[in-house]
Structure 1
Amino acid sequence: MSSPWFLRLMVVTFVAQFISSAIRPLITYESLAAGAGAMQVGFITAAFAVLALVAAIPLGKAVDRRGETGFLVLGGILVCATLLSLLAPSSLLLLGVCSAFLGLGHLVLVIASQTLIAKGSQPERRETRFATLTTVNAVAQIVAPAMTGLLVGDVASSHDELATHVPNSHLVVTIAAGMAVIATLSAISLRRWPGALARRSVPDAPRGRGSFAAVLRLPAVPAAILASLTVLTSIDLLGAYLPVYGQQHGISARTVGLLLATEGVAAIVVRIWMLRLITRFSRRRVLVGTMTLAAISLAGLPFLSLLDTPEPALFAVMVLAGLGLGIGQPATMAWVAAQTPVHLRGTAVSIRLSGNRLGQIVVPISVGALAGGLGLAAAFWCPAVLLLVSAGLILRTPRDRPSIVRTRRASRRLPHLKAKEGKLSD
């Protein structure tokens, strides 16, 4: 294979995020059609993270020991099998089980992909590649929910009539399964024809235990995990409960899909400017500012139902939410990788992702219970509060070390800094 390894990895990354962003809203609609309420939607949403939470840290250690490309193939096969299971007649139990295995397959792909970038990239290219990875994810987050919304159409567009069947659901699943096959073939090509990856220099891991504690003792890593958790769960809750919000207020599935796609477009825009923002203001300040913006946007969303035509205001809020939630994932990926020794990066990625999955279990279940008792607004106010709390704790972390971008610019002015660049970026 002559194509660069990073390009082939981006194919896998795009498909993994596309499937997650297309199928999870579909599962919400299928759950509503099967008679689920707000609490049941919360449980099914949380199921996505159950198996992933249990498997995350062992998977990260296994990736450190055995390499990444084999796990990319494994994740692709698991996602394919799960999507085929969704073609069976729907029930709440089946939807919950499929959500759990889809989450496990997605986790395998994410751990392997992020570890491959963390270990296979030079320090000066790592932050750029993580930004590219999350931009590819954002493109998938635009295209996938819009596709699901357009194919599903006007199902559940009125709270007076609950649909008992989701139109074109099998077509959505079939498209996703075909893309999963493409991703699996791309992963196989990375394993059989690694190209430049075969020539990378990876130091031997030292013997011994305690890698979990060693990672958590690293500066700023717990704060990065917290930021990642709150941002990701906020995105999940927005994707899970915006369809419920639409159903209650007469907004069609097509419009809901476009709203979620708008959030994805805004996330791409802010990620394009991410490196400049971090260079100018520091990663810590950028995270605090964007998380606060996202919290304000989510907190205001329930009030838009008071408007006669809430759709224009909803699109504006989705833009602000995308700008606020877009930087959290790439910034924390690069933050963790920069703070972690090479031989622990797979473990560090898995710890960060296990924190994400823990949040994806606890937060949706808690929010679903609150939404069932207090009303749907709680599904948006709770993540807003979590974002504000997380932003406050991030603000208390020590100042960032100089980023690779800022150090590279300084090295042009001060040649004697060039010798320190590698140390600062690692």
Structure 2
Amino acid sequence: MFRWRRSPFGLGASFPRLALGKENKTPAPLWILAGTAVFAVAAYAAPVLIPLVAAVMLYYLFAPLKRRLDRNGVNRLFIATAAPAGIVVVLFAGFTFLAGPVSGWLEKAPAMVARLQQQADALMRPVEKMREATGQVEKIALPDGGQPGPPEVTVKPRSLLERVFGGLSDFVVSIAATLMLLFYLLARASPPERALIGFLDGFAARRRAWRAVREAEADLGRYLQTLALINAAVGAGLAAAFHFIGLPGGIVLGAMVGLLNFIPLLGPVASVILTLVAGLASFESFGAALIAPGIVAAVHTFETNFATPAILGRRLTLDPFLVVVALLLGTWLWGIGGALLSVPVLLFTVAAWRAYVLRAPPKALEAAKESAAAKAAAPDAPAAPVATASAVVPPVGAA
């Protein structure tokens, strides 16, 4: 698995290089142990790894623009400063866009809560009667003439306000760490994959690593474009549905739901709560107020479990089963942050699997061969040149 090579620093030391060629005979149990160790470390070091992985994914999102600006002679500090600043502006604009309608609905909260309390009291009367009857039965069943035993000791949990502010502070720290790491990655003269390529043994292994990174980088851009189109379609469809049922501010609410849909797990839950508050503030009947959140829950269930995995699998040549498994594993390991990063990490994992395990040719080469074969099969079609590996992949030393 490893080969020891002389250090390039001229100090007489040596360092290992990965030997991933055909001579690699690493037994399967060792790979299983390595995978288990990776999952254990990922779960334990989540506060450190989540900002690091997020910064790396954002770097490869901006990497094509960075290379274009470098070729045009633009200073690296420009993109290194503009990218984090743009992310901050987008986040601030999103919170500002959400704050206006939410504050208007919160002003109606006292009347809404009073109306909801009246409806809840009518629904809870049978439950209260059952609770009183159960208490009388428990009192009869107590020993010592119905005298209660010693009081139970219970630990008082943190209040909702404490949990909200604690989670908000952790979120702000993670965002700040991610943006700081992104700045330093974009300010580097050489791309981060060059450090990985330097540890690989042989030109063929390094070329496969370069191809895998470039394919995953292109897939990452297509993934974000696809996700933006899906969320725009969800927001537009829900805005039309809200307008149809007569919900005031339905267009703005649909846009808010589309923006929240970028956040896995928490976004759909926040959308349902938001539409429930809007329905309670706009309709007198409790049943009518449940129509909007019911529509949102149904649309999110279909989109999350069926539409998004199928569309991503078709556009990114990913198995929808792998997309769902990646979402489950990411959520289990890192929560909402893991759900956000699961598909981008899956793209890089699949690219590495194609390059080193399946030994598959680059996607661009496969597409060129298929196009040439289709043109050759067509009648009276001129022969198209088939792309070669040297034409698809530039030298390893290129930035």
TM-score, normalization: structure 1?
0.25
TM-score, normalization: structure 2?
0.26
Greater RCO between the two (CA within 8 Å, min separation 6)? 1
Q: Which has the higher helix share?
A: 1
